[in-house]
Structure 1
Amino acid sequence: MELAMGALASTIFKLGGLLVGEYNLQKGVKGEILFLKSELESLQGALEKVSDTPADQLDIQDNIWAKDLRELSYYIDDSIDRFMLHSKGTESAELHGLKDFIDRSIGLFRKAMFHRNISAKIRDIKSRVTEVSKRRDRYRINSYVVNKPVSVDPRLFARYEKATDLVGIDGAREELIQILMAKNEVSDKGQNKIVSIVGFGGLGKTTLANAVYERLKAKFDCSAFVSVSQTPCVEKLFNDMLYQVTREKNPSTNVIQALIKDIREFLEKKRYFIVIDDIWDISFWEMIRCALPDNNFGNKIITTTRILSVANQAGGAYKLKPLSLNNSRRLLFQRVFGNENYNSENTEKCPVQQLAEVSDKVLKKCAGVPLAIITMASLLAYKARNEMEWYEVYNSVGTSLESNLDVKNMRKILSFSYFHMPSHLRTCLLYLSMFPEDHKISKNRLIWMWIAEGFIQSETQGESLFELGERYFDELIDRSMIQPIHDRYTGMIKKCRVHDMVLDLIRSLSSQENFLIIHDLDCTSQSNMIRRLSLQNGKESHAMTQSTMRLEQVRNKIASLPSTVVQLRNLMCLYIDHSTRVPNGIGKLTCLQEMLIIRIDNSNIDIIEELGQLTKLRVLSIFLNEWSDKLAGCLCKLQKIQRLYIRSDFNQRNIGGLDAWVATRHLCTLGIGQSCWFSTLPSWMNPGFLPHLSAVSIAVRELPQDDLDILGRFEGLRYLNLEVDHENLGIHGTFVFGSGFFPELVRCELGFVGPVVFQQGAMPRLTSLRFSPFSVRVEREIDGRSDCLDLCLGNLPLLQEVVVNLRSEGDSEEEVEEVKATLRHAAEMHPNNPTLRIR
């Protein structure tokens, strides 16, 4: 139902625009639009309730009604778009000659005809909306007439797995037991010890919790294992808990407050162990916690959840990891071949050699998720031990296995997470079905595509759609629906991927809803009505959608942007190559939020002043051919800048050209280097003024030790590229990276900074260290001894790589080799044995 939800939201928004826009609508037409807008808002509310219900639990008439409304919403949306297009026409075009005058006259005549027809079109739409509403009521059957079979939650069976059938949880079970039973300051003060198991649906959270529960429950006076689920019966849950801890039936009451009181009073003097399985809402956990008194008996509590924020708030989040490859093989082969035919001690080999390759592909698709492995095993167990048949099963997941019971159960378990999300998140997740398996999806690209589709609508004045999209993205990660991919050097989330089994689910849902059609490039469509089309060839996808607000130029295809680009007044994101020129008038694109990369040279130097008019810019990348003093003043006008990059291809250093610029407090990434230098570290470059700074590349002519210490106090800084003018190195002596400084830094690049020392406790998370260049002469001039090269690399506990670009003008070959040998020795002595590259 998410497709219809997205279309309705966009349609209602556009109807509002028709009422307030300059479209010269007749009074009667405006009245019809007001009625239509109100009717669609009411239908949207009803549809939201329908969309919260899984398809297998949905009344068939509701399903048909929702599909009718989906198609109608797109019909209305298309009609409004056509009206807006015709109404704008060519009225802003300049007239040049008789032909242009005739063309415009014909255009105005056609527009007048279109305006006369719009009233009839609105009435037609109104009648269609009314008919869809009446049809639903006309064919509705009272709910008591239909007796639907009660479905069994497939997660129920996880508690009753035989211990001999469990694979790969031994390590996690022992680790969790150790965490629970370890004494610490919190438990010694009398507070309950809580561990929250969090992870992807089907990862085995309930199985692990039950394994720990069975191992430990005998050590406590009383215990209970209760499941919450998405729509819990509160009275039943507390009754179950009370019965399990007391072992007595409670005939007295079903009042929640009384049940909580009874449980609390019974547990007050007991040492207890409680497992609360499958929590979806932190408020519900807080209610359960009221029944669990804190005493001084060392009580233990385990919760399980798919939502990271819930686990963090409950306390003691334990992130459950997928099965290792060996354990995945054990589980798959035991389920397919049976314990008697499979030697689990040798997990490297498949019992049937010709199936080794395809079984590895199956395991890769499952990605260590036990539920997925068990499901695939059930599909393969009854197939012949034939490579072709196994490949047939592997390739058919997500296409021809819709009716298979095991696949249905797996999708049902995963769908609990899907249907628990609000409708706007479901729509955004469904959109990810357009990407191929294992595709690494750019976070920024995805958010802009959501915005282009109209999936992100802000109800707060001045709220950035992109920032709202970032919150959507983070929430999908929090709910374990997408997997984050962190940048290797900064640790920041730049991309994501979708687990193959989640992709299977959302592709199935997309197909049901005609949300998106996926085809290989050599296939043709079988559908008459395509809203979104993804053409896929291997790992690549080419998406075609109805709308876009992002313009990308293919490298070397265009010499310059057409002058008409400045008429795209709603354009929010402009990505072009640094060799592509932008036309005059770029300052008219006042909705722009991202612009990469704008080239500035002698021929368009005046464009700097136009940049100052783009006050909504959050991301800006500039490529300079020649420095202009106007640039600092322009940047001062851009008060929403979060990421700023300035590059140049001229060799002359401009010292102090940026001294007049004061950054905005929103700045999180600053990439300025090479030819654009500050005289000294700017006064605003401090943690108090820039609380969100996470990556910085900066060139400074003079940098005293105190200024280096200021940089070290940025608690969120993950990437540092620091250049200091080599002509001033002699006045500094040794740069000391002191203990406690740069606590989150992951990658550090130092240029022209001379001799450095890393004290113990500095940069505790640093993995990559680069010197470019590293001056042999400066290092040796300190006291004439090579031991001045002792950088104390051993004080950087997580160091993985060191890259050194030697600068050795005037140094003998022996001196250079001595420096190289000293660096190699330092790397070899480091406990991590980091990779050393000397250039």
Structure 2
Amino acid sequence: MAESAVSFLLDHLLAMIEAKVKLLKGLRKEVKSIVVELRTMKAFLKDADARSETEEAVKLWVKDVREVAYDMEDVLDEFMFRFAEQGEHQSHGFIISYIHKISRFIKNFKTRQSLATQIQDIKAQIQNVSERRKRYKLKSLEQAPSSRSSSGAMFHDIREDALLLHETDLVGIEKPKEEITGWLVEGQSSLGVISVVGMGGLGKTTLVRKVYDDQRVKGHFQSHVWVTFSESPRIHELLIHMTKQIYEEHHQPIPHGVETMEDAKLKQLLQEFLKQKRYVIVVDDIWSIQAWKSIEHVFPDTDSNRGSRIMITTRSKVVAESCMKSHLHVYTLKTLSQKKSWTLFCNKTFRSSPDHSCPTHLEELSQSIVRKCGGLPLAIVTVGGVLSTKQKTEMDWEMFDRSLATELYEDDSLRSMVKILTLSYNDLPYHLKSCFLCLSMFPEDELIDKTRLIRIWMAEGFIQRKEGKTLEEIGESYLYELVNRSLIQIAETSDFDGRVKKCRVHDLIREIILSKAREQNFGTIIKQDQDVKVDNEKIRRLSFHHSCELVPQQEESITHLRSLFTFNVSTLSDTFRSGAFFSRLELLKVLDLRNAPLNEFLEEFTNLFHLKYLSLRNTNIKQIPDSIKKLQNLETLDLKQTYVSELPIGILSLHKLRHLLVYYRTTDFASGTFDEYLGFKAPNGIGVLESLQKLSFMIANTASVLIKELGRLVQLRKLWIMMLKREDGIHLCSSIEKMSCLKSLAVTAIEESEILDLESLSSPPRFLRKLALVGRLQSLPHWIPSLRSLSSIALAGAKLKDDPLEALNGLPDLRVLSLGDAYQGEQLRFQSGGFQRLTYLILNSLGGLRMVTMEEGSLPNLERIEITYCRILEKVPSGIERLTKLEEILFCNMPDEFRLKMWYNGEDHAKVAHVPSVRFPNWIDGQWEIYDLNDTASARRKLLLV
């Protein structure tokens, strides 16, 4: 769409032009005229966006505007690169200094002349594009307020026509229907709102309609109203529609002149009528909080309502939670399981067979097609409807399975479904569209790290600055907005605070993203054994999947590349290994070579002046050259799981660096030992990197001066420092006290016998949420109980003599507690009323522990327990039978006699019988040997190779 492809680029471009206009001596007039013309064009983009769906000429105009904006950005970035390149020379002596000055003058003159020529060319392009806009009679935003509404109406009609779920045997609807019906007819007498939320195509409207038509609901309420909002509601028409429904239901004449009444009068009329009724009103497909606020006061909330209810359906969790009156229920609709998806598919596809069964010869292909639908009822029903008309041959089925992505845009029924799913994308603000399109670069079914995605958005310039917030915080809010709009699915959350760690995109939504990315020339994907047509386009973003070979035509199109990714690439092309490929990428901002078979840091990387994000994670890189200092714009340097153990002094020149990640994890699972991680040696002077937000894992044993310098890093949010000596503790505490923004802190002693002395920390960071201390403690640091925001604490090797639970008992927000060789006593006691929010408990290598007591009223929200290598623990924790929310227990590497007490007929079996998963893993000879208490074949062993 024009907004995502152009509006962001224009905003970004205009800001960049204005920032650099001082450097453009002699070109100020031309540049400013371009700025004015681009701003004018931007006013016409929404009208063009709406019309480009149906008018090819307008679509081409939008493309031309986008390309002009791209070209202008390229020109300015190349200009800045040339000037930076010329400023690198260091002068030594008068003669050399004079020669360099003359040389720079000549080069600057040539650069400005070249820039002037290019700007004149762009100015001519813009004038040409502007003339064509006038020919197409495009309207500005102020002149065309209804363009979005007309487009929304068009999509709404398609959606209504595509609600095919009414024609099928419904699957998976019984449980939610019963639950929502209960919310409607039972409970409080005051007005209540029930929201059904989920991505497009999940069957929200179908579910609510079945509830609405249920005889219990019909009989319980005196007035029944159903209104559909859609993406761009016309409030006046909706109010008229509601009024007519209510009066007609009660066989009363519709008030005279209702069609011409003002909105305020209509709302008053509705409110007066509803005051005396117990009513149920469905507001279907509501898109925004503003739309809800436009009608919420219509619904009276009085004692006489006797339990009136409002049901809404929405794709937005934020909207669902904002539609709150006296009380609120939110039902989040999930995708169907593979089993239910299969049933729905067979019901639709093989309706003519007596039992709706799939022919044996088509079963494997049908299962593959169903998996691609991702549990989305609308997709399953639509695809099933299309297949029901095809011949039941393996060849036809195989071709459909192979070409489903193409079929989505060629078959009329599937195209209608795609438009329904595309509504959520269309409704995004333009800055989120750019962020969302970025997901097109990731492979199908890829679990995407949240932090990786946000840092890429930052490097691309997709995140808009807001006063009082970091770019990372704003980026996280973007991600949650995409989640709340049901466009991104949460794949993994953090144990300690429940925040998103990894996300994924539904397969069909991904196809939409890929289509939009191709349409807007956002990015190109190169797959193994797959031809990619370039059509002389300039490739802006490039993602290699399995192969990194380019054909000559593609190589000619990469000089304007902004982002480069590799996924699952097992071999590198010769041009990659030699560095020749990168010597042409002067405008590159994102270079993500995670997991690539790269053995050395290529010198060509250091010539990428505009580079902001560099990830070499999980490569075989061993050393970083001092010339990395040339990457003056670098914000993220990710060297996790590489063999880099020391950083050069040149790293101190990267003053924009925000995330410095250098460590190697030596085990595949958390061991809590001193050799679990290998960190890096930092050069003295690291305190100059004052923009750092994240620093891990820095080795501290070089000099105390290094520890003192950390106090300058006042922007740090996360710090992991390793190999700390006892005498350095006082300096570290002094530095930490200056880090008021710190949220995550990990400190590891230099060896197992070394004392961590952190007692001098008098004023710990007030927002610290995660704390890990690996090393001996003479006592638990006095400041830990004051950490009111702490969500996770891990103590490893502390060897405390006193029970640490007494001090940790009152932490109000603690979710995760891990004690690894942290306590030498025989008993741990969770006191009544303590650890109210704890969900995850780990007890590891507590060699003296004989008994764990969980008093009544403690640990009410505990969901998971891991007890590992507590070899003399005599029995299951006392009181564990009262933990009703407990879902999983792992007893790792525990004695056989301990395990047998919990086996059938064992003395402790009844205490854990209510827990859904109780397992006994043992790490033996490089593999897990797992006994599962709830496995019906209880004597069977499961082997999981690691």
Question: After TM superposition, is the score higher than 0.5?
Answer: yes
Q: Name the residue aligned to 2:533.
A: 526
Is residue 736 from structure 1 mapped to residue 830 from structure 2 by the alignment? yes
Relative distance call for 1:141 and 1:436 in structure 2 (3 A) is closer
What's the counterpart of residue 89 of structure 1? 85
Please report how far the alpha carbon of residue 496 of structure 1 lies from its aligned counterpart in structure 2 after TM superposition: 0.6
Amino acid paired to 1:334: N
Q: Give the structure 1 partner of residue 756 of structure 2.
A: 655
Q: Aligned partners of 2:750 and 2:400: how far apart in 1? A: 55
Provide TM-score, normalisation by structure 1.
0.86
**2:110 aligned residue (106, 113, 116):** 113
Q: TM-score, normalised by structure 2?
A: 0.77
1:173 equivalent in structure 2: 177
Given candidates 540, 547, 559, the residue that maps to 2:589 is 547
Which residue of structure 2 aligns with residue 208 of structure 1? 207
CA distance in 2, matches of 1:330, 1:719: 40
- The one-letter code of the counterpart of 2:291 is F
Counterpart in the other structure of 2:714: 615
Q: Which residue of 1 aligns with 2:287?
A: 280
Unaligned 5+ segments in structure 1 are 345-349, 780-785, 808-815
Instruction: Give the drift of 1:259.
Output: 1.2
| 2:279–2:309 Cα contact (<8 Å) kept | yes
Distance 1:84 1:162, change over 3 A: closer
Tell me, yes or no, if the aligned pair for 1:198 and 1:319 is still in contact at 8 Å: yes
Provide Cα deviations, 1:733-754, integer angstroms capped at 9, x if missing partner: 5422433524142343455484
1:762 equivalent in alignment to 2:858: yes
Match of 1:65 among 61, 72, 90: 61
Q: 1:177 to 1:475 in 2, by over 3 A?
A: same
Structure 1 letter corresponding to 2:518: S
Question: Structure 2 vs 1, CA of residues 373 and 821 (structure 1 numbering), >3 Å: closer, same or farther?
Answer: closer
Letter in 1 for 2:637: L
Q: Describe the superposition over 1:99-143 as per-residue Cα deviations: whole angstroms up to 9, x where unpaired.
A: 999788645532332134433433333333233222211343899
Matching of residues 465-504 of structure 1 within 5 Å: 465-487=471-493, 489-490=495-496, 491-504=498-511
Structure 1 residue 591 corresponds to structure 2 residue 656 = yes
Structure 2 residue matching 1:519: 3-state secondary structure: strand
Displacement of 1:505 in angstroms is 1.3
**Equivalent residue for 1:680?**
780
CA distance in structure 2 between the aligned counterparts of 1:678 and 1:35, rounded to whole angstroms: 70
Residues in 1 aligned to 2:38 and 2:723: alpha-carbon distance in whole angstroms = 51
Q: 1:553 to 1:298 in 2, by over 3 A?
A: closer
1:449 matched to 2:448: no
Distance of aligned partners of 1:616 and 1:822 in 2 relative to their CA distance in 1, 3 Å threshold: same
1:95/1:610 CA distance change after superposition, 3 Å: farther
1:642 paired residue number: 743
**Pairing partner for 1:43 from 36, 41, 44:** 41
Q: Give the 5 Å matches for 1:668-707.
A: 668-673=769-774, 675=775, 677=777, 679-683=779-783, 685-688=785-788, 691=789, 693-698=790-795, 702=800
Q: Specify whether residues 749 and 400 from structure 1 end up closer, same or farther in structure 2 by C-alpha distance, changes over 3 A only.
A: same
Deviation at 1:592, TM superposition (A): 2.8
CA distance in 2, matches of 1:740, 1:268: 47
Which residue of the partner structure matches residue 31 of structure 2?
33
Task: Give the stretch that moved more between structures: 241-250 or 507-516.
Answer: 241-250
Do the aligned partners of residues 250 and 484 (structure 1) sit closer, same or farther apart at CA in structure 2, a change above 3 Å counting? same
Aligned pair count?
A: 795
Secondary structure, aligned partner of 1:615? coil
- Cα distance change on mapping 1:221 and 1:823 into 2, 3 Å: closer
Q: Is the alpha carbon distance of 1:393 and 1:55 closer, same or farther for their aligned partners in structure 2, counting shifts above 3 Å? A: farther
State, as a whole percentage, how many aligned pairs show the same letter. Answer: 29
| Residues 709, 741 of structure 1: 8 Å contact kept | no
User: What SS does structure 2 have at the residue aligned with 1:153?
Assistant: helix
Q: Using CA pairs below 8 Å that are at least 6 residues apart, which structure has the higher relative contact order?
A: 1
Query: Shift in Å at residue 211 of structure 1?
Result: 0.8
Deviation, 1:272, is 1.9
Q: 1:4 to 1:469 in 2, by over 3 A?
A: same
What is the letter of the counterpart of residue 60 of structure 2?
I
Show the 5 A alignment for 1:183-194: 184=187, 186-187=188-189, 191-194=190-193
How has the CA–CA distance of structure 1 residues 838 and 793 changed in structure 2, closer, same or farther, with 3 Å as cutoff?
A: farther
Match of 1:796 in 2: 883
Q: Quick check: 2:589–2:613 contact (8 Å CA) kept in 1?
A: no
Change (3 A) 1:724 1:115: same
**1:344-374 C-alpha deviation (Å, 9 max, x unpaired):** 5xxxxx4201211121122212122111101
- What code does the residue aligned with 2:837 have? P
2:53 aligned counterpart, secondary structure: helix
Please state whether the residue corresponding to 1:44 is helix, strand or coil: helix
Q: Distance in 1 between matches of 2:769 and 2:273?
A: 53
Contact 2:349 2:384 in 1 (8 A): yes
Deviation track 1:580-625 (CA, whole Å, cap 9, x = no partner) reads 2112354443433322235226557754455444433323333438
Amino acid at match of 1:531: R
Distance of 1:367 and 1:72 partners within structure 2: 39
Aligned to 2:928: none
Match of 1:721 in 2: 818
The DSSP-based 3-state class of the residue aligned with 2:345 is helix
Please give the secondary structure, in 1, of the residue aligned with 2:382: helix
Change (3 A) 1:136 1:817: closer
Counterpart for residue 338 of structure 2: 325
Alignment map for 1:276-675 (pairs within 5 Å): 276-294=283-301, 295-314=304-323, 315-338=328-351, 340-343=352-355, 350-460=357-467, 463-487=469-493, 489-490=495-496, 491-527=498-534, 528-529=536-537, 530-537=539-546, 540=567, 546-548=588-590, 549-555=612-618, 557-576=620-639, 577=642, 579-584=644-649, 586-597=651-662, 599=680, 600=699, 607-624=706-723, 628-629=728-729, 630-647=731-748, 650-657=751-758, 659-660=760-761, 662-673=763-774, 675=775
Per-residue Cα deviation, 1:496-542 (whole angstroms, up to 9, x for no partner): 11111111111111111111222312334311221112222399467
Give, in angstroms, the shift of residue 306 of structure 1: 0.8
Residue 123 in 1 paired to residue 104 in 2?
A: no
Q: Secondary structure at the match of 2:745?
A: strand
Residue 194 (structure 1) shift:
2.2
User: C-alpha offsets along residues 231-281 of structure 1, whole Å, 9 cap, x if unaligned?
Assistant: 111121111111111104444133111111222222222222211111112
Please provide the CA RMSD for this pair.
3.5
Aligned mates of 2:445, 2:700 — CA distance in 1: 42
2:443 maps to amino acid: P
Structure 1 residue 18 displacement after superposition: 0.8
Distance in 2 (CA, whole Å) between partners of 1:320 and 1:18 is 49
SS in 2 for 1:56: coil
Is 1:748 equivalent to 2:842 in the alignment?
yes
Unaligned runs of 5+ in 2: 548-565, 570-581, 591-611, 663-678, 681-698, 924-946
One-letter code aligned to 2:80: M
- Shift in CA distance, 198/768, structure 1 to aligned 2, threshold 3 Å: same
